[in-house]
Structure 1
Amino acid sequence: MPSTDRIRDHAGQGATTVAARARRRLRADQARQLADLLRHQILSGGFDGGTLPHESVLATDYRASRNTVRQALDLLRAEGLVARHPGVGTVVVGQKYPHGLDRLMGLAETLHEHGTVTNEVRTMGPAPAPHPVAQRLKVAPGTDVLCIERLRRLNGLPLSLDLTYIPLDIGTALLGADLENTDVFRLLETITGQGLGHAEITLEAVNADAHSAAVLEAPRGAAVLMLERLTHLADGRPVDLEFIRFRGDRITMSGQLRRSL
């Protein structure tokens, strides 16, 4: 074969390969987009009886190919939200619980409609405040603060691992309190005699370290939602600094935002 023909043939094969990759990439994008739509339906209880429509129905409803539908369902299966049962179809097997970001509430208050929140106090006691903690709680660096680590469960299932720092003049009164069954927020309001005012929050995804993965019974390296929250009393005093690691497969964060110019 002349060299020019070989080059042309090779170029044609390359173009075919590029086109095939583009089609696969497009289908993967479409599958991800469809999975997002189906996930919303699942979490909002949009499928009667917890069973998803047949693949052909989903393909028609969402104007997608059967292959795209299968890939989308594979993504949801990998998340643990759905499972395939022979003779039944694709059914919802996972559940995420809603956690609002527009109201200052304790976990038990937030999830009271979904079951019972219990707290396993893993460590609790005074400890010198690291500089970032002291700075945010407005105490002198090295000053003792109350440090609490709790594993929080919803209906017996591990949901979050909370690390809390509280100024010791307030925290001392928590040492004999029922932390296993009561939100810290309620206890703080009782101890101080005033309500909580506002909180500053930061939310990000982090990989679970070996310790938190073991405690939360999650795969090591799995993504968890890290909520950092600094809560103030009504008079403005910072009183509670928390680092909360939520199992991302069991919680969904939501809120309402308003545009102001």
Structure 2
Amino acid sequence: MENAVVSRGFGQAPLYKIVKSRLLEGLTAGEWTTGEALPSEAKLAARFDVSIGTVRKAIDELVAEKILVRHQGKGTFVAVHNKDRTLYYFFHLVGPDGVKEFPTSELLSFGKAKAEAAVAEQLRIARGAPVFRFRNLLKLQGRPVILDHITIPQALFPDLDEEALRKRESTIYALYQARYGINVIRAQERLRARPCDAEAAKILGLASGAPILEIHRVAYTYNDVPVEVRLSTANTEHHDYLNDLGKGQAR
């Protein structure tokens, strides 16, 4: 990261956007890791040769995007993936009363594969590149509600195995962050209703052909780099899908 002239190569971009980009470069390079405090705004201003106000505006955007978090009186820190973060930013099923509960998780399968064309394009990797695929079942109050089919590039998670997934202390995204330094900061989802296929129906306790919600998600880390493709089959018979854009969006 440059210490003085921060505008090189950015044309007429606003100065705070350039500082934001430099901060993202540092995060991507692991200069500041999970839960770690960034230098003070004064130190960052001196580093980039800009005003404290410019640094603050750049940090404000990163806080709004849930990449950083401010702790009053302590400073600004790299956001940590935990159950609360996952519950409010990446899990969207609620009961009829609007209450959201954290689901229990069960790993159903794990294996290696080669990326087919569609997944390769979404992950921006070569067709046939090695990937990990695993199925994960989420339950609420003991009732199966979501069956996830997850695909991630082996290149980003080289030593991941079934044991690591089964014995993880927290969420899958927390594992990505703690073990590989990959911070999922946002996810793009597409939803559609369709009849449930026989395999998903059996796992979710539904009749084959019952209506389900299909959710296609691509998860991204810094600089909009895709790190995960997830196809979820959700049973919304007893739950609603609620994504509160004012509270629950990662960006």
Q: Above 0.5 in TM-score?
A: yes
Is the CA contact 1:167–1:239 (under 8 Å) kept in the aligned structure 2? yes
1:249 aligns with 2:232: no
Deviation string for 1:92-122 (max 9, x for gaps)? xxxxxxxxxx9632579x99x7555222222
1:151 maps to which residue? 137
Q: How many correspondences in the alignment?
A: 157
> What is the SS of the residue equivalent to 1:177?
helix
Aligned-residue offset at 1:205: 0.6
Is the CA contact 1:146–1:172 (under 8 Å) kept in the aligned structure 2? no
Bigger helix share: 1
One-letter amino acid of the structure 1 residue matched with residue 155 of structure 2? D
Is the CA contact 1:118–1:180 (under 8 Å) kept in the aligned structure 2? no
How far, CA to CA, are the matches of 2:111 and 2:158 in structure 1? 9
* Residues 1:106 and 1:179: Cα distance change in structure 2 (over 3 Å): farther
* Residues 1:253 and 1:107: Cα distance change in structure 2 (over 3 Å): closer
1:105 maps to which residue? 90
Root-mean-square deviation over aligned CA pairs: 3.0
* Residues 1:151 and 1:139: Cα distance change in structure 2 (over 3 Å): same
Equivalences for residues 13-32 of structure 1 within 5 A: none
One-letter amino acid of the structure 1 residue matched with residue 221 of structure 2? L
How far, CA to CA, are the matches of 1:195 and 1:161 in structure 2? 23
1:162 maps to which residue? 148
How far, CA to CA, are the matches of 1:174 and 1:153 in structure 2? 24
One-letter amino acid of the structure 2 residue matched with residue 186 of structure 1? A
2:202 maps to which residue? 214
* Residues 1:198 and 1:119: Cα distance change in structure 2 (over 3 Å): same
Is the CA contact 1:161–1:216 (under 8 Å) kept in the aligned structure 2? yes
1:184 aligns with 2:169: no
Aligned-residue offset at 1:199: 1.6
Aligned-residue offset at 1:220: 1.1
Identical pairs, percent = 24
1:234 aligns with 2:219: no
* Residues 1:165 and 1:225: Cα distance change in structure 2 (over 3 Å): same
Deviation string for 1:193-247 (max 9, x for gaps)? 2432222110111110111101100111111111111000123210010000010
Deviation string for 1:64-99 (max 9, x for gaps)? xxxxxxxxxxxxxxxxxxxxxxxxxxxxxxxxxxxx
How far, CA to CA, are the matches of 2:202 and 2:155 in structure 1? 33
Deviation string for 1:96-150 (max 9, x for gaps)? xxxxxx9632579x99x75552222221011011110011001110111000111
Give unpaired runs (5+ residues) of structure 2: 1-86, 247-251
Aligned-residue offset at 1:254: 2.0
1:133 aligns with 2:119: yes
Aligned-residue offset at 1:184: 1.4
Aligned-residue offset at 1:192: 3.1
Larger radius of gyration: 1
- Higher RCO structure (Cα 8 Å, ≥6 apart): 2
* Residues 1:119 and 1:199: Cα distance change in structure 2 (over 3 Å): same
* Residues 1:126 and 1:187: Cα distance change in structure 2 (over 3 Å): same
